[in-house]
A and B are shown apart, each in its own frame.
Chain A
């Protein structure tokens, strides 16, 4: 009903009696907004009350619903009003399902082109002194860094290995250069309670080898099982104490497209030991002798290479090196050394690991090589592609070096002495006339004295003749310069020495 209907007219006019013919009431023409909505005036007070009641009820329900929502969503009101556009710090969802097709991560010869991921495993123990050298290698790898995942196992370390490691890695990940960043970095801490010392002597002593190798194997397995992911195509094992290696070693080894591949490992030596030496003797080909030897040993025995106790006559990768040989030459091997192993991840996925028990009489990396062969994988060494292990002198070497040092010192001392003597001789004989003069004058003096004594003797009677002579000699001695006296005293010895030299 129209407002003006209430003015009493019974007939609805076809056109508005007054105002604009637009259906709006005339009202006050001079109002600012004449077309403003006007509430209907015909509502009864009861209707109005009812409407107010509904309004309040509606508001109450809305408030209640909002309160419920607030209560159940733990106070996350913001997204409600921002319509999800203004969400705060938590702009992520949880992804709980991962799907991987393992046939995509087989590993190929040119992995860097197919973006194949490498897991690099580094076992560490009290390795703080070697870390700077290791990181200098790490920064320089030519394989795309974002495709390399790093995994470290820090076990039973008493020095600051862990702290230094974390500092260096965080510095790499925080670097400005995107190409420097690595992929996933995991640091695994696990103490095995190893009682075997890590110093060179106890590390390489024959008796400790079997149990030491088994513990090392255990550590390697823990590291691998914690770090291997379904998206890895390759696994690269690297020791921290490699001193020199090509920066392109990953590509160089990968190019061969073998299941397991190792380079030759040598170490530089001081000159007195020959300049260089094969280091890793765990890469070898199996021999009849060794197989026969293995049959005689009991179940838990471990054959370790490089010790006189087990003469295996195996061809070692290390001894076959020719510095001018073709670096791409391959050699089939059965045992592998752990300094630097590149293996396809599928080898580890299929269950091959580092036996921490005696597997075909071998443990750790040698057992790994054996097991890989058992599973039908190709295991290859490169005899002429060499990396260099750090030279750490053994206790014998240190003893030897100490002896050499003492010898050297003794020699130096002798030389110094000789030089001194020569100097002195030179000093002594540089102006021999003066001495002769002196001696001459002395002799003359004596002769004069003798004459004087004789004269006095003749004058005085001989009973007290000796005492003036002594007094005269005593008076004469202080007159000699001490500096002159000493060389004179030495002169005899030198003279003796010189005489000997002359004799010879």
Chain B
């Protein structure tokens, strides 16, 4: 039927259309006004540093206003007498710094990190990556995950602060392949470079507020979610869990696990004898048939169904997973890149800590798992 002639647009408006319009308007206004709402809550904002020149373990306020010149940094006072290190770190709201030297990015590593149930607003992550092709790829992958978590993830999942460093020296080996990496003659160079990477990461990120430092290698893909609390509960200066690796056991036709990290050990007279005959620049290495040291390895101390919290004293530690009281590092215990008592890197670190009066402890039945290539 022909519409009666007359002025156009005088059709009756459907109220539903109106309603949809209104809702749309509200949404538009909401998104116009709310880009800031993806930011952090008041509590987190109040603990942030007021200037970009600040300890990297805390986030800083990035001014969004263009007007006005930047004011000089304030005089910041940090009372390290008040930085507690207790066996109940959550109750005391103690800051944990998780440090990871990274050559390759494993998604499982990040997923495992995310499932740690220590409050994320107390965790600062520090990464150091080499400046080569592999390192660039790992950085890109890492930054993607970080952006996902820190920008758009729920606030509960977001970490307090994240520091990404790029190494200022080339890694000595082009390949990070398992077989190449573990060749004995390559070990010393590789571990010296590793020491420098660890120290660079540690001493530029430690800052004045950290209570605990957790060293966690990039290829640790499975830990209990309560890792930090469990290790801290022992209240020891240096605590090393036992590092295992899951693999497919062809004989038993099922998944099995085997010890992985052999750098957690107790010294033996034989090893000291070998060391005594060495030149000043030679190092003792563990896990090589050419050099039988007869040290007691924590990797073999584990017992099925044994007490999770059984402690053993250690003389050498591995770096795959290691919880260290920040005071140990502040006193100067670092990862020697040179033979220190014929030890290097994490083993040298254990020795140096002992020289400073801090004694490492191992947990033979508390397991973390290494990636299997």
| A residues with CB within 8 A of B | 1-2, 5, 12, 14, 23-24, 40, 50-51, 54-55, 57-58, 61-62, 65-66, 69, 73-74, 76, 79-84, 87, 90-103, 105-106, 146, 149, 166, 169-170, 173, 178, 181-191, 217-218, 221-222, 224-230, 232, 346, 348-351, 353-358, 374-375
Residues in B6-65 with C-beta less than 8 Å from chain A: 6-7, 10, 12, 15, 18-19, 22-23, 26, 29-30, 32-37, 39-42, 44-45, 48, 51-56, 59-65
A-B contact pairs, 6 of them (CB 8 A): A90-B45, A97-B162, A102-B200, A173-B72, A232-B204, A350-B200
Considering the chains assembled together, what is the distance between the CA atoms of A13 and B36 in angstroms? Answer: 59
Considering the chains assembled together, what is the distance between the CA atoms of A90 and B42 in angstroms? Answer: 10
Chain A contacts of B34 at CB under 8 A?
73, 79-80
* Nearest CB of A to B338, in Å: 5
Considering the chains assembled together, what is the distance between the CA atoms of A50 and B14 in angstroms? Answer: 11
Contacting chain A: which of B73-81, B245-253, B359-367?
B73-81
Binary A-proximity of B312-335 (CB < 8 A = 1, otherwise 0): 000000000000000001111011
The residue that A166 contacts in the complex, of B29, B73, B75, B200, with Cβ under 8 A, is B75
Query: Does A346 contact B203, Cβ atoms closer than 8 Å?
Result: no
The residue that A355 contacts in the complex, of B5, B62, B160, B332, with Cβ under 8 A, is B332
| B residues with CB within 8 A of A | 4-7, 10, 12, 15, 18-19, 22-23, 26, 29-30, 32-37, 39-42, 44-45, 48, 51-56, 59-65, 72-81, 131, 146, 150, 158-168, 195-196, 198-200, 202-208, 329-332, 334-338, 352, 355-356
Chain A contacts of B356 at CB under 8 A?
356-357
The residue that A106 contacts in the complex, of B80, B81, B168, with Cβ under 8 A, is B168
Across the A-B interface, the 7 shortest Cβ-Cβ residue pairs? A351-B199, A54-B15, A23-B7, A181-B72, A102-B168, A184-B53, A92-B61
Query: Does A226 contact B162, Cβ atoms closer than 8 Å?
Result: no
Query: Does A96 contact B35, Cβ atoms closer than 8 Å?
Result: no
Considering the chains assembled together, what is the distance between the CA atoms of A14 and B74 in angstroms? Answer: 81
Chain A contacts of B355 at CB under 8 A?
357-358
Closest to A181 in B: B72
Closest to A186 in B: B76
Query: Does A94 contact B33, Cβ atoms closer than 8 Å?
Result: no
* Nearest CB of A to B101, in Å: 13
Chain B contacts of A2 at CB under 8 A?
4, 6-7
Query: Does A350 contact B196, Cβ atoms closer than 8 Å?
Result: yes
* Nearest CB of B to A233, in Å: 11
Chain A contacts of B166 at CB under 8 A?
100-103
Closest to B356 in A: A357
Query: Does A230 contact B205, Cβ atoms closer than 8 Å?
Result: yes
Query: Does B332 contact A354, Cβ atoms closer than 8 Å?
Result: yes
Query: Does B205 contact A173, Cβ atoms closer than 8 Å?
Result: no
Considering the chains assembled together, what is the distance between the CA atoms of A189 and B33 in angstroms? Answer: 43
Query: Does B75 contact A97, Cβ atoms closer than 8 Å?
Result: no
Chain A contacts of B206 at CB under 8 A?
225-226, 228
Query: Does A183 contact B164, Cβ atoms closer than 8 Å?
Result: no
Given contact pairs A58-B18, A80-B30, A375-B337, A74 touches B42 in the complex (Cβ within 8 A): yes
Closest to A73 in B: B37
Query: Does A349 contact B204, Cβ atoms closer than 8 Å?
Result: yes
* Nearest CB of B to A377, in Å: 11
Query: Does B36 contact A351, Cβ atoms closer than 8 Å?
Result: no
Considering the chains assembled together, what is the distance between the CA atoms of A350 and B335 in angstroms? Answer: 9
Chain A contacts of B59 at CB under 8 A?
94-96
Query: Does B203 contact A225, Cβ atoms closer than 8 Å?
Result: yes
Chain B contacts of A351 at CB under 8 A?
195-196, 198-199, 203, 334-337
Given contact pairs A181-B72, A356-B332, A189 touches B5 in the complex (Cβ within 8 A): no
Considering the chains assembled together, what is the distance between the CA atoms of A429 and B73 in angstroms? Answer: 80
Considering the chains assembled together, what is the distance between the CA atoms of A377 and B77 in angstroms? Answer: 33
Query: Does A51 contact B15, Cβ atoms closer than 8 Å?
Result: yes
Given contact pairs A84-B32, A94-B62, A98-B162, A346 touches B77 in the complex (Cβ within 8 A): no
Query: Does B330 contact A222, Cβ atoms closer than 8 Å?
Result: yes
Chain A contacts of B164 at CB under 8 A?
97-100
Considering the chains assembled together, what is the distance between the CA atoms of A178 and B69 in angstroms? Answer: 11
Closest to A78 in B: B33
Considering the chains assembled together, what is the distance between the CA atoms of A351 and B346 in angstroms? Answer: 13
